[in-house]
């Protein structure tokens, strides 16, 4: 890759100038744009990024991968060859939606009036390609270039943008020196039905390559002003801002990059830092600039090693496990039908859900996810039907409500006895108990100290409590993380241990034990593997006693595991609809479109049994209810009507 100064000298144009009027320093002519070598990957890598690209005139989808957003390595493979429109794939843009599906759009030809579209969940096996004839019926359309897709959370829809030059429009900027593009858009919820194309951005001049990025509460559009190539006047990279993704956009007075032959801007955000990648297309390399406030920019091209030959594409975050799979995965050779992941039942990032029914209401008590599991508080959600959920309030703040811990608030659960509600929880890797007169709390620490101290278990860590009251009135508290699960009897007051803990060996046990009774048998379920792993999953067994021993089946031992884009599907709990044999599982999965072991979502699945009482495998891609379903309402402690499986 030639240095920026060498490139500028060859073109005899000014150096980079950034917003606010500050100019970045030119790269020394003897500098080598080689990034520092990457450190060894941690076992549980938090981030990975992909950069899309094409080669030549548009041969297909190329991907490069990075662990840090700076050092990139080419995967040396065409992941999708174009087959619609004029047969090209240029400017490929990739977006992962909240349903876990990757959607790819691209320029299919220089003079096409539509764009290409395909979808995938793994970036290896793709749906059939479609040609979307966005402006096919609009007279005078000359182009449809550089499409991109963003998801509008507020509107619950996708927005596809692209640049078109349409004869007769914007006559005041018609010129023999350059074309006359503007940015247009359509909206869609399903990529089957689309709104009519409308104008998104008219800054008063020809422009292409618009990319949208949400920064805080504002949307920022970055785009390339058209070149005057005969005069060798190269259009600047400019930006505009709006409060809504559909505008109106206000043009900012200072360009981001000017005086250089650059196009195809794409943005990577890491925390508070935004990194702008620009394609110096005639010189065959990328420039990279960084900002924390969109006012002061730094040229970091020497610290970033983009793949040689990279052309106009997208940078996006992907799960590290998926990036790793791309290095060896092979397509199965037939069109895929990507399956969407059902939406979560709770808003925000939550994990380790406990689901209970008290009276005529269902409740979920989850962990409130924060980076590195440094959580400090618990909240509760309620529902009258398992379909419509409401966040009620915080029920316990360990940072302020406890004397013995202030962090690592994990995996709560609640149970009722004699009109009193007992809330068991982890804090500082110890187990506490709090009480309240309502399932909505607020819960007060019952002991002023842990119920179970750290290190007091049998070959286990003291986390993940699960209370259970048997038919004879005896209460038990199950817990554990490590080699074996633990159980301890509770006295009738529910806040005093009745004897020492006992170990319960469970097949492949890791954590998150759940116990319930059905048909005279005790069912045990638990989580396997690490919560940061996409293979986090649920196993099960049965016993004749609440103390075990537990027998696991030879077949269908794993009853909840990853499928498609739903991964990390475990740490669950179980609820029975009163008066029925209908059961549901609340569990967490890695959040979509971006998440992992520290950023998760709570979902719901229906759990069924075969004629022999075995738990049947659950599919995390199967929604328990259809849109418009009544769900499972309860009146006077019993289900209103039998649920009919669709």
Catalytic residues, by residue number, are 352, 511
Written as six digits, the tokens of 563 are 């499928």
- Taking alpha carbons only, the member of 562, 509, 498 closest to residue 539 is 509
**Residues β-bridged to residue 539:** 526, 558
Other CB atoms closer than 10 Å to residue 30's CB: what's the count?
8
CA dist 480 and 561 (Å) reads: 21
Query: What DSSP assignment string belongs to 376-395?
Result: -EEEEEEESSSSS-EEEEEE
Cis peptide, bond prior to residue 618, ω within 30 of zero: no
Strand segments (E) across 271-398: 273-280, 285-291, 297-299, 315-318, 350-358, 361-368, 377-383, 390-397
**Residues β-bridged to residue 466:** 478
CA dist 243 and 637 (Å) reads: 47
- Taking alpha carbons only, the member of 271, 313, 331 closest to residue 127 is 331
Written as six digits, the tokens of 15 are 């150096």
Are 411 and 429 spatial neighbours (Cβ–Cβ below 8 Å)? Answer: no
Query: What DSSP assignment string belongs to 118-152?
Result: EEESSSSS-PPPEEE-TTTTSTTB---EEEEEEEE
> What does the CA dihedral 369, 403, 435, 570 come to, rounded to 10 degrees?
30
**What are the residues whose beta carbons fall under 8 Å from the beta carbon of 627, sequence distance 6 or more?**
none
> What does the CA dihedral 500, 501, 502, 507 come to, rounded to 10 degrees?
-170
Task: Quote the radius of gyration of the chain (alpha carbons, Å).
Answer: 28
CA dist 236 and 252 (Å) reads: 12
HSE-up of 140 (CA within 13 Å, CB side)?
9
């Amino acid at each position: 890759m030639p240095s920026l100064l060498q490139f500028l000298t060859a073109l005899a144009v000014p150096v980079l100038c950034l917003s606010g009027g500050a100019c970045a320093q030119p790269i020394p002519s003897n500098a080598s744009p080689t990034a520092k070598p990457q450190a060894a990957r941690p076992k549980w890598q938090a981030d990975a990024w992909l950069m899309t690209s094409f080669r030549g005139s548009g041969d297909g989808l190329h991907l490069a991968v990075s662990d840090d957003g700076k050092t990139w390595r080419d995967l040396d493979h065409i992941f999708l060859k174009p087959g619609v429109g004029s047969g090209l794939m240029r400017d490929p843009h990739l977006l992962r939606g909240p349903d876990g599906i990757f959607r790819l759009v691209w320029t299919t030809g220089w003079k096409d009036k539509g764009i290409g579209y395909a979808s995938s969940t793994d970036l290896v096996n793709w749906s059939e390609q479609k040609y979307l004839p966005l402006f096919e019926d609009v007279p005078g359309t000359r182009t449809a270039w550089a499409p991109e897709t963003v998801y509008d959370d507020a509107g619950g829809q996708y927005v596809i943008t692209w640049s078109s030059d349409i004869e007769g429009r914007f006559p005041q900027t018609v010129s023999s020196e350059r074309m006359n593009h503007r940015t247009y858009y359509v909206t869609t919820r399903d990529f089957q039905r689309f709104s009519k194309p409308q104008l998104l951005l008219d800054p008063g001049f020809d422009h292409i390559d618009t990319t949208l990025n949400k920064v805080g509460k504002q949307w920022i559009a970055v785009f390339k002003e058209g070149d005057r190539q005969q005069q060798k006047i190269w259009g600047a990279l400019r930006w505009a801002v709006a409060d809504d993704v559909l505008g109106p956009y206000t043009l900012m007075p200072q360009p981001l990059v000017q005086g250089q032959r650059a196009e195809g801007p794409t943005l990577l955000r890491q925390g508070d830092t935004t990194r702008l990648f620009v394609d110096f297309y005639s010189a065959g390399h990328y420039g990279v600039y960084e900002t924390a406030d969109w006012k002061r920019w730094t040229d970091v091209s020497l610290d970033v090693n983009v793949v040689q030959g990279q052309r106009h594409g997208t940078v996006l975050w992907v799960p590290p496990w998926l990036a790793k799979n791309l290095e060896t995965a092979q397509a199965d050779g037939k069109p895929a039908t990507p399956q969407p992941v059902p939406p979560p039942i709770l808003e925000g990032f939550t994990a380790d859900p406990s689901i209970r029914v008290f009276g005529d209401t269902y409740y979920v008590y989850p962990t409130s996810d924060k980076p590195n599991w440094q959580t400090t508080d618990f909240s509760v959600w309620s529902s009258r039907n398992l379909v419509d959920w409401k966040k009620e309030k915080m029920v316990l703040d360990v940072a302020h409500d406890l004397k013995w811990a202030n962090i690592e608030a994990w995996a709560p659960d609640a149970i009722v006895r004699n009109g009193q509600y007992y809330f068991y929880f982890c804090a500082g890797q110890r187990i506490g108990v709090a009480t309240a007169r309502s399932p909505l709390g607020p819960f007060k620490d019952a002991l002023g100290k842990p119920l179970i101290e750290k290190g007091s278990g049998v070959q286990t860590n003291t986390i993940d409590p699960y209370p259970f009251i048997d038919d004879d009135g005896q209460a038990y508290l199950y817990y554990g993380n490590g080699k074996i699960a633990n159980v301890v009897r509770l006295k009738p007051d529910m806040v005093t241990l009745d004897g020492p803990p006992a170990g319960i060996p469970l097949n492949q046990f890791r954590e998150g034990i759940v116990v319930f009774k059905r048909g005279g048998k005790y069912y045990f379920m638990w989580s396997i593997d690490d919560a940061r792993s996409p293979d986090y999953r649920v196993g099960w067994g049965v016993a004749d006693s609440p103390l075990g021993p537990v027998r696991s089946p030879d077949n269908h031992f794993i009853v909840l595991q990853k499928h498609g884009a739903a991964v990390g599907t475990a740490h669950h709990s179980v609820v029975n609809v009163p008066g029925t044999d209908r059961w549901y599982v609340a569990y967490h999965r890695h959040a979509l479109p971006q998440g992992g072991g520290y950023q998760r979502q709570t979902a719901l699945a229906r759990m069924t049994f075969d004629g022999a009482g075995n738990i049947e495998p659950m599919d995390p891609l199967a929604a328990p209810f259809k849109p418009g379903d009544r769900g499972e309402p309860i009146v006077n402690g019993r289900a209103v009507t039998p649920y009919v499986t669709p």
